[in-house]
Amino acid sequence: MNLRVAGAQLGVTRDIAANLAAIHRAMDYAIAEKADVLLTPEGSLSGYSPAFDRLAVCEALEAVTARARAAGLALALGACFVEEDGRTYNQIRFYAADGAFLGFHAKTLTCGTLTDPPRGEIQDYALRPLRTFRLGGVTVGGLICNDLWANPECTPQPDVHLTQQLSAMGARIIFHAVNGGRDGSDDARNVVWPFHESNLKMRARAGRLWIVTVDSSYPPELPCSAPSGVISPEGAWAVQAPAWGEQFFAYTIELG
C-alpha cells in the first residue's frame, strides 16, 4: 500500500487572507503532484495565536475544504480553531479525500514557562485525548511542534513520548505540523535546529514510523527552526526541503 504525501513549508502570519492564499498555492502543488494528502504548518490557516477572527477562519476553512474535496485531496491542516464546546484548540484537522471531516489532533505538550504555575500557550489551548485517523486505508497520527520533541526549556509537563504512543496505537505515519520560534542566532542554528532534527530522526526510528513534518517559514529572511520533509522509519531523510522560504515537497510512502 502506498500513500503519496505532500508538505508545504509556508509563511504563517496573523493575516488570514495571506495564509489562505499560501495554502491555495500549496494545494496547486499537491494536486499537480497527484498527492493523496497535504500537510500544512501549525496555525497555517488561522495564524499561530488563540486570538483570531473566528468568522474569517471558518470562511477560509470552507474555501480550503471545498477545493480539496473537489480535487480528491485529503488534508492534515494546521489551524487554531474554536470548537462547538466553546474552547480553543491548536489543531491538525484531518479530512479524507472525499471531504469527510475525520476529527482533529489537539496539541498536547503545549509550551509554557517552567514556573509554578506555568505561563504561556499552556493557558490558551484546550486538550483532547490522543487518537489516530484512517487516511487512504492507512492508520496515521498527528502531532504539533513540541508534541514530538518536548523541548525541556519550555515543557512544564513530562515527556510522555507521544510518537511511541501513536506507534503502539497502530499509526504508520505521523503528520507533524510545526511553528517554531526563530531569531537567526548562533544558538538557533547550533542548538535548536540540531535538537529538532535529531529528535525527528530518533523518534521515527524508535517507533518504526514515517514522519512527515513542515515548519512555518515566516519571516522569510530567517531559516526555519526545524527541517521540513519526510523521514523514514530508519531515521533517514527520504526528502528534505530547503531551510528558507516557502517550499513544497512530495513523496510516495511505500508501506508493506
State the cell numbers at 197: 532534527
Amino acid at 254: E
Buried b (16+ CB within 10 A) or exposed e, 193-207: bebbbebbbebbbeb
Instruction: State pLDDT tens for residues 51-79.
Output: 999 999 999 999 999 999 999 999 999 99
Cα separation, 80 vs 57, in Å, equals: 9
**Reduced to 3 states, what is the DSSP secondary structure of residue 241?**
coil
Q: Is a pLDDT exceeding 90 seen at residue 184?
A: no
DSSP letter (8 states) at residue 135 = E
**Cβ–Cβ < 8 Å for 124, 88:** yes
Name the percent of the chain lying above pLDDT 90: 95
Q: For residues 104 and 94, give the distance between their C-alpha atoms in angstroms, rounded to a whole number.
A: 6
pTM above 0.75, yes or no: yes
> Would you place residue 181 in the very low, low, confident or very high pLDDT band (cuts 50, 70, 90)?
confident
* Residue with cell string 523514514: 232
How confident is the model over 203-225, as a mean pLDDT?
A: 97
- Which residue matches cell numbers 528558507? 244
pLDDT at residue 183, as a whole number: 83
Residues 12-44: pLDDT tens digits? Answer: 999 999 999 999 999 999 999 999 999 999 999
In this prediction, residue 188 carries a pLDDT of: 82
- The answer to whether residues 215 and 224 touch, using CB atoms and an 8 Å cutoff, is yes
Residue 35 near residue 253, CB atoms below 8 Å: no
* Residue 117 near residue 110 (C-beta atoms within 8 A): no
pLDDT at 245: 96
Coil, helix or strand for 93? strand
Question: Can you give the pLDDT at residue 112?
Answer: 95
Q: Which domains does the chain have, with CATH numbers?
A: 2-254 (3.60.110.10)
What would the mean pLDDT of 129-141 be, rounded to a whole number?
97
Mean pLDDT for the stretch of residues 77-90: 97
- Stretch 136-164: mean pLDDT: 97
